[in-house]
């Protein structure tokens, strides 16, 4: 015989699982981002190329591809944008009507976007710039970091979610 579960208890369990998943993944991305940035700063001056990636530490005072890097107001503007993204992604993620599943494109995309934005926001607040270090060995592409990879992966998952919703 199945035991009836109280609706309040089920909601509490659902919220707890969702919060645990959110915090765990954000902490994982944050630690990985910090660790790789530390390693890249220790390897400066060395030509470290592995397969298609090279580690060449650099700084970015602007947004993606160093856009807006020459303006005095850029840092404050980008901090405000990042705070908006953090609040918006957390708000959408913790909506009651969104069902939590073990794997959901929307949930995972929001968490990755939140984590990447948080990592870059901390760099921008603490250092005044973003620490980038990954480049391609075969292509002259601007340097990026793991927080940027997390942001791009999050946006791609959100796009996949939206495409699947249209079908």
99-117 pLDDT, tens per residue? 655 558 888 999 999 999 9
Tally the C-alpha atoms within 13 A of residue 20's C-alpha that lie toward its C-beta. 7
Contact (Cβ atoms closer than 8 angstroms) between residue 137 and residue 53? yes
3-state secondary structure of 33: helix
- Is residue 148 part of the annotated active site? The answer reads yes
Question: Which of these is catalytic: 33, 47, 123, 132?
Answer: 132
* Of 24-28, 77-81, 142-146, 150-154, minimum mean pLDDT range: 142-146
The CA–CA distances, whole Å, from 120 to 70, 91, 148 equal 18, 20, 8
Question: Which of these is catalytic: 33, 47, 123, 148?
Answer: 148
- Cβ atoms within 10 Å of 166's Cβ, excluding its own: 5
- Is residue 47 part of the annotated active site? The answer reads no
Contact (Cβ atoms closer than 8 angstroms) between residue 124 and residue 130? yes
Task: Between 81 and 16, name the one with better pLDDT.
Answer: 81
């Amino acid at each position: 015989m199945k035991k009836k579960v109280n609706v309040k208890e089920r909601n509490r369990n659902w919220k707890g699982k969702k919060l645990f998943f959110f915090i765990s993944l954000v902490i994982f991305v944050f630690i990985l981002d910090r660790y790789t940035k530390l390693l890249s700063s220790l390897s400066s001056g060395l030509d470290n190329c592995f397969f298609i990636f090279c580690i060449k530490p650099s700084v970015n005072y602007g947004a993606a591809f160093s856009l807006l890097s020459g303006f005095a107001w850029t840092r404050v503007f980008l901090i405000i944008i990042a705070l908006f993204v953090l609040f918006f992604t957390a708000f959408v993620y913790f909506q009651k009507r969104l069902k939590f599943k073990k794997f959901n494109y929307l949930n995972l995309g929001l968490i990755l976007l939140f984590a990447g934005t948080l990592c870059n926001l901390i760099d921008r607040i603490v250092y005044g710039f973003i620490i980038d270090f990954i480049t391609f060995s075969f292509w002259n592409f601007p340097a990026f970091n793991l927080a940027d990879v997390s942001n791009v992966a999050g946006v791609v998952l959100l796009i996949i979610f939206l495409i699947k919703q249209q079908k």
